[in-house]
């Protein structure tokens, strides 16, 4: 592969044929070296050729010279001559590179490698010449490039190319292993005479194409759990420091444990101070977190997204036992929907792995311990709340490494990382302790041979929580047929009309209950604060003083009045606003009308007896909220 001289230089001939008999163990690349090549830095002395069979059924020949491609005289400049050897720019008209291919050879390297197609690159132009003059159109399948360190010949469609040569091939490209014979020789100026031809038989396979074929199935050991039976937590809990009355360690703290906290590695005591949580629901949502129960307060109002941790921290509000804690419980409401609750007084299990709705606890701390909360031990919970999940991953694609299975309700991956070969499967299990109806969504992923990520389908299982059975109204009934003097059916039987068991006629005497009194309803301040979309007649921006006709400090809006903290007027403001919204809502059977509520408030301000009015309205606001928000 040199200048045109009397000595024909650098012959490269390759024979291409279909060889189904060769094993699939061959690689998709093969390199031939010229072992006798001298170190003259010419761009036309070939030292190495690498053939590559690509996944798209193209064949590439990377041809490496000892010097710079196109440089005849070895001075490193392919565009000029610095010696007696002429060197035209690039591959000039007096320079050429010839590649000869023999197609259809079957001698596996023992033949003469006589070409039936010749590629000549000269004057910076590729010429494709089949030895059979009846063959045409080969040049549409061939490209030639000159790079900084090599020449590159590419047959872009090997099947079409061979068919155009008259080879016995089918139209399909799925023909398995591919084989050919290759030889080359070169001459001056490094060794002045041609080297002996190198003839080598090569078998190439198509490269393995990465294919993702992971399938995940998930099952649970039970379809239902529960009902939950209230039991004392096995964790160290405060329980108001008054439930046991047994101060075993004479610490002055009569809680139910009296365990030396210095001996613990984890635990919960004195209410939870902070929780790191993760949202497992879909997308990005607005989240509102509140401390509920005594000394209620807003804790968090912001945006959270699936899979991202966030932290809820206690507030410095309330008496000593509540300051800087989450109180006895918190509620979490997504986009204004129905809240889920997490008990945070340490009297019930709480710690990493605890699941409430679309939230899972990752970590946390409590007020009286420096150690973190204990991770929940699924095997330590009641048997009727335990569930074992089984995850089976099947690989119908190519090999996968670093396979990991994750579950949106589990803190850590439930399996992996492992390798999963094509055609195999792997099984993982995980235990959980459930406190509510729970849907877990799992997925598997790993890396293919081309370093791309392969992900499985998602698989979900729902385990339902059984509710405790309704109590038997007649269990323990003491209908004595003598105590009430009320004979509703005039049968001469003045029993107690089954008053102790409600409407059920436990003794079968056909006496019924007297007419049931009206059941009034009422929703509390917290409900109306969180469900402004359910307000009727009044709006959040209406002023308290204007509605009630009183002079309250600050003349706040109804919304701000509902959020007010403290007692006396602040407490009256909260319950008066809730009472007003109850009375105005047609879906609430409230005891008072809006006019009566306003009158109660006006009278309280006139007499200064705020406490009595607060007590009256608060009692009605606790009658039970009938609205499904």
Q: Does residue 461 sit within a domain?
A: yes
Clarify whether residues 505 and 594 are in a common domain.
no
pLDDT of residue 478: 54
Q: Closest Cα to residue 362, out of 347, 380, 375?
A: 375
Cβ-in-10-Å burial (0-12, 13-18, 19+) of 207 comes to: middle
Each residue of 354-376: pLDDT tens digit? 888 888 899 999 988 889 998 88
Per the structure, the count of domains in the chain is: 5
Residue 629 lies in a domain: no
Quick check: is 487 in a domain? yes
Same domain for 127 and 273? no
Shared domain for 53 and 180, answered yes or no, is: yes
User: Distance between CA 33 and CA 58 in Å, rounded?
Assistant: 22
* Whole-angstrom distance, CA of residue 575 vs CA of residue 609: 15
Residues pairing with 99 in the sheet? 12, 119
- 344, 271 Cβ separation under 8 angstroms: yes
For residue 428, the surrounding DSSP H or E stretch is strand 425-433
Same-domain pairing of 74 and 174: yes
CA distance 532 to 550: 23
**pTM for the full model?**
0.47
Same domain, 20 and 115: yes
3-state secondary structure of 364: strand
Q: Which of 380, 407, 433 is the last residue of a domain?
A: 380
Same domain as 164, residue 198: yes
Take residue 413 and report the two structure tokens written for it.
């991956």
pLDDT for the residue numbered 234? 39
**139: in domain:** yes
Residues of the chain with pLDDT under 50: 1-26, 109, 168-197, 231-245, 247, 249, 251-256, 480-483, 496-500
Q: What is the CATH number of the domain that holds 402?
A: 2.60.40.10
Looking at residue 415, what is its pLDDT? 92
Domain boundary among 380, 402, 421: 380
Same domain, 184 and 38: yes
**Domain closes at, from 380, 401, 423:** 380
Quick check: is 627 in a domain? no
The total of other beta-carbon atoms located within 10 Å of residue 519's CB is 9
Does residue 182 share a domain with residue 157?
yes
Tokens 């078998």, residue located: 203
Question: Cα separation of 192 and 41, whole Å?
Answer: 14
- Residue 226 located in a structural domain: no
Phi/psi for 33 (5° steps) reads -110, 145
Show the 3-state SS of 325-355: ECCCEEEEEECCCCCEEEECCCCCCCCCCCE
One domain for residues 238 and 114? no
3-state SS, 543-570, equals EHHHHHCCCCCCCCEHHHHHCCCCCCHH
Burial track 5-27 (b if 16+ CB lie within 10 A, e otherwise): eeeebbbbbbbbbbbeebeeebe
Residue 142 is classified by DSSP as E
Q: Return the structure tokens found at 620.
A: 């009605």
Residue 278 resides in a domain: yes
- Domain containing 585: what range? 525-621
Residue 46 resides in a domain: yes
Determine phi and psi for 329, rounding to 5 degrees. -165, 155
Q: Are 563 and 428 in a shared domain? A: no
Whether residues 65 and 169 share a domain: the answer is: yes
28 and 144 assigned to the same domain: yes
């Amino acid at each position: 592969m040199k200048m045109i001289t009397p000595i024909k230089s650098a012959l490269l001939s390759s024979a291409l044929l279909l060889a189904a008999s060769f094993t699939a163990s061959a690689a998709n690349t093969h390199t031939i070296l010229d072992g006798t090549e001298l170190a003259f830095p010419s761009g036309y002395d070939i030292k190495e050729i690498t053939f590559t069979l690509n996944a798209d059924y193209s064949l590439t020949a990377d041809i490496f010279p000892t010097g710079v491609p196109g440089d005849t005289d070895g001075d490193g400049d392919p565009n000029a001559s610095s010696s007696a050897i002429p060197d035209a720019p690039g591959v000039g008209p007096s320079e050429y590179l010839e590649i000869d291919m023999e197609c259809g050879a079957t001698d596996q390297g023992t033949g003469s490698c006589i070409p039936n197609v010749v590629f000549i690159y000269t004057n910076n132009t590729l010429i494709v010449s089949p030895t059979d003059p009846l063959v045409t159109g080969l040049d549409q399948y061939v490209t030639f490039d000159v790079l900084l360190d090599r020449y590159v010949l590419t047959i872009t469609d090997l099947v079409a190319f061979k068919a155009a040569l008259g080879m016995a091939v089918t139209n399909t490209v799925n023909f398995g292993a591919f084989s050919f014979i290759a030889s080359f020789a070169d001459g001056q100026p490094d060794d002045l005479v041609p080297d002996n031809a190198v003839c080598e038989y090569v078998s190439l396979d198509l490269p393995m194409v990465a294919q993702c074929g992971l399938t995940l199935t998930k099952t649970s050991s039970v379809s239902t759990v529960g009902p939950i039976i209230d039991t004392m937590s096995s964790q160290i809990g405060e329980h108001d420091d008054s439930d046991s009355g047994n101060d075993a360690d004479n610490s002055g703290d009569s809680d139910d444990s009296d365990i030396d906290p210095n001996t613990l590695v984890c635990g919960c005591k004195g209410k939870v101070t902070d929780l790191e949580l993760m949202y497992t629901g879909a997308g990005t949502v607005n989240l509102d977190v509140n401390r509920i129960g005594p000394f209620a307060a807003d804790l968090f109002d912001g945006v959270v997204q699936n899979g991202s941790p966030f932290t809820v921290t206690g507030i410095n509000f309330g008496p000593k036992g509540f300051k800087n804690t989450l109180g006895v419980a918190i509620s979490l409401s997504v986009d204004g929907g129905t809240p889920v609750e997490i008990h945070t007084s340490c009297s019930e299990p709480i710690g990493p792995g605890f699941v409430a709705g679309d939230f899972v606890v990752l970590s946390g701390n409590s007020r009286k311990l420096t150690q973190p909360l204990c991770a929940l031990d699924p095997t330590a919970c009641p048997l009727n709340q335990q569930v074992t999940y089984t995850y089976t991953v099947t690989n119908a694609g190519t090999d996968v490494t670093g396979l990991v299975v994750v579950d949106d309700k589990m803190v850590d991956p439930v399996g992996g990382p492992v390798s999963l070969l094509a055609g195999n499967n792997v099984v993982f299990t995980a235990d959980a302790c459930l406190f509510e109806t729970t849907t877990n969504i799992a997925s598997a992923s790993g890396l293919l041979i081309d370093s791309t990520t392969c992900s499985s389908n998602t698989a979900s299982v729902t385990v339902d929580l059984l509710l405790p059975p309704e109590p038997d109204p007649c269990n323990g009934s003491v209908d004595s047929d003598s105590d009430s003097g009320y004979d509703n059916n005039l049968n001469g039987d003045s029993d107690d009309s089954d008053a102790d068991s409600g409407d059920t006629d436990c003794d079968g005497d056909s006496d019924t209950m007297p007419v049931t009194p009206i059941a009034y309803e009422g929703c509390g301040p917290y409900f109306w604060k969180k469900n402004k979309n359910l307000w009727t007649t009044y709006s959040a921006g209406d002023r308290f003083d204007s509605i009630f006709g009183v002079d309250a400090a600050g003349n706040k809006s109804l919304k701000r009045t509902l959020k007010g903290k403290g007692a006396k007027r602040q407490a009256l403001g909260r319950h008066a606003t809730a009472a007003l919204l109850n009375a105005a809502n047609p879906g609430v059977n409230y005891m008072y009308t809006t006019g009566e509520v306003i009158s109660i408030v006006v009278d309280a301000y006139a007499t200064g007896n705020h406490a009595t009015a607060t007590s009256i309205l608060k009692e009605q606001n606790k009658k039970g909220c009938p609205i499904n928000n």
